[in-house]
Amino acid sequence: MRNVIIGAAVLALCGTTGETPASTFQATVAEVSVQTCRRIEGADLGALPLEVEVGGKTVRFAEWTTADELATDVVGFATQLPADVTFTVQAGERSFQSSSPRWLHPLGVSGPRVHAIDSVTFCTQARNATLAQR
């Protein structure tokens, strides 16, 4: 009786559906576009020193720009920006894209149309990678 139970358990574990044994590996290969991004916001805005790692690249902030010396809201910055890294600045309801190491709000540093920076998202340029799927 014990042998019958063990035999049934082995059959249940192995399955009888005719599937390929687990020792055989079949792969599907596909090219995908990979982009790595990193967002800074909140207390990081205006902080120095600040380094951001993005896809193996380092963005270093050199300075932040405010409307005046008493203001805490930032409207611009300067970085050491690797050549293949771009960024998007979110300021109020507007988004601005750039790849320049210096950025200053295009509407100026003060006034009713100028909003402080809410976040900056740095991204590496998309590159192709191979995805293998079983």
Answer whether residue 36 is part of any domain: yes
Answer whether residue 80 is part of any domain: yes
**pLDDT tens digits, one per residue of 4-59:** 444 444 445 555 555 555 566 666 776 666 679 999 999 999 999 999 999 999 99
Task: Find tokens 């409207």 and name the residue.
Answer: 75
Answer whether residue 74 is part of any domain: yes
Answer whether residue 65 is part of any domain: yes
How is the chain classified by DSSP, letter by letter?
-HHHHHHHHHHHHH-SS-PPPTT----EEEEEEE--EEEEEGGGTT-SSEEEEETTEEEEEEEEEESSTT--SEEEEEEE--TTEEEEEEETTEEEEE--SEEE-TT-SSSTT-----EEEEEEPPEEEEEEE-
State residue 114's pLDDT score: 85
The chain-wide mean pLDDT, for the chain, equals 81
Answer whether residue 53 is part of any domain: yes
State residue 68's pLDDT score: 84
pTM of the prediction? 0.68
Answer whether residue 116 is part of any domain: yes
Answer whether residue 16 is part of any domain: no
Answer whether residue 6 is part of any domain: no
Structural domain boundaries enclosing 42: 31-132
